[in-house]
Structure 1
């Protein structure tokens, strides 16, 4: 019965195809299966491209079963197409440039070789491959946010069509220390960057928790844009392999994250970047990294004790002025403190000898420890002139006082004795 077998409802839009779909057909007449153009924008465009259709609105256009491969159908009846099926190209090219691209892996997944952040799977069992960025751009999905790394055009898309996968994006950390580091690396001057994101392209493989790259490790920061070739700190005598004491006046110490550490100074703020991309930060007067609690009262020392320090920072040890009135006065005299009550004053570990500490951790001082002299005398005349010096390290006070002392140094009526080994005691000419 052919065409006269019924009423033609719609025709196949594939070029050169005269097939139509008929209603009220004669007995024994069976229509071919027809498939409407997809609503999904990328596949909608793919079908238009395959059929050389330039019309804007083709939502009611159909293509018959003759223009698909056998594998494009769900079953042998050819009643339904697979989701990712597209019509066969009119003039299939002998070689697809994308198939020969080094970035194409196997025949299941294609990473978009353009600068787009969208990844897409190859349209299975089809020879039609299109670059997402060149063909579809924003149409592949709705742009939600972009990567803030300098020079990166990657976007995160919402409402992606099936077969498209976004790259992983990571929000700027809330921790103020790492938040500032990310801003510095990305040259961001905005005050608040809490909603900014960076895509997976700007981190090392070791920065991720697993191969899926869904999560970053805790102390991770983006790769440097232009890492310096030479690290001046590596030549500094103060740099050690395991621990680096901040060479500024800051009291913060930090563990080196690698043997190679370099810095970039900006006025008073100095940021240290390790070539393994683990970072730490110091400020000469650091408030943002931690909250200042108390300072070292030793003359000329700018060290502070901080609370709420970020991970990777350790305070130096601070020691409160002793309650013992004798040693309390000694500490005050050494630090040139004239305040009557200094019970809440502190001196940091930098101003004591190693032998003054109970152990190598420098967490506790010996009972008789006192800070180092600011300007210790080069020679103690009493060591040379006093005949009462004994061999076993004790010097009997020649005054009427019952105090014994190690080496001493006289000051008017009140006499403070400083030993050249920095063990001290005190005698007063008129002792109450």
Structure 2
């Protein structure tokens, strides 16, 4: 990044009428081919970024067509937590963008190095993002660590097995405003239950409570809520859905289904499948979802696509290992190639009674891999054997197998938070 550019922070207490707010948001609108920030949307952006105490980094410059020194690239993130067996601090990278006229000048690389370094210096051992393109972030040590499965569910074929666990209590259909006071408690309960789950942010609340819809530029008019109440009358799970019109087959989109137990999940799926006139549900399932296995006819669920969900990066291997649950004991020396330097070197990765450590050493590595391969293994969603077969891990088969057993989890990672 040459001298024309300057890395700056847009303070959260910047006055609302400062033109940098709109210029900053419009960077991301331009990059993601969206409309410019509206008068209704701009205050919502300020609200959720302030609520999450986000860090709004940007690169500014001067030049023809710009109003003085103006932002031309942005990188906004917040400190949160991810369930790795314990709640581990994580850097949630919400949005990164560089205006087309300033690409290929090192701005993204500079922002990435500066902001990842700021998070690591603040004691954050992991970073996550979701990627619009799959070829950008591997060179910065990120890799897809969880997946999502696009499905269509034929409601006419939906029937749970007799031995499928379902919860007592009732399902009620609520307005989003009636559901909103319960959202945080249930969202947090899901995160506490599932490894790989990231804390929901304030924007998640605004969208899932129906308070904000980018399509409606205000409160959502289409979002609906099915809520499960236990026998004591406590709301303990919810499904957000919207109807997609009268084109055949008549379809409802399940936007989100969050519950602290599989029994509540299945009770909600049954209620959605019983919606009058609806012939098909579309949804995204997380790996490890019990639904297909709990149906009399598993082919009622048709898998239509596979996507990556959480892209992860390890910033501090000793701290990440100390906060991670290990379902198997063992030890292996790994050599990590990290172009940004955070995890570079040789480490002994060890787990005893489920407690992990990573210690820097000088003995030869038994297994060699890149920082991106380490990230892809870290949540247990990919096996070491797969990456070794693809040429991304090298080492004796016995050592690769030992690394795979060490990092394997007994349950699949899952995340429902969007960021």
Q: Which has the higher helix share?
A: 2
What is the TM-score with the length of structure 2 in the denominator? Answer: 0.23
What is the TM-score with the length of structure 1 in the denominator? Answer: 0.22
Q: Which has the higher strand share?
A: 2
Q: Higher Cα Rg: structure 1 or 2?
A: 1
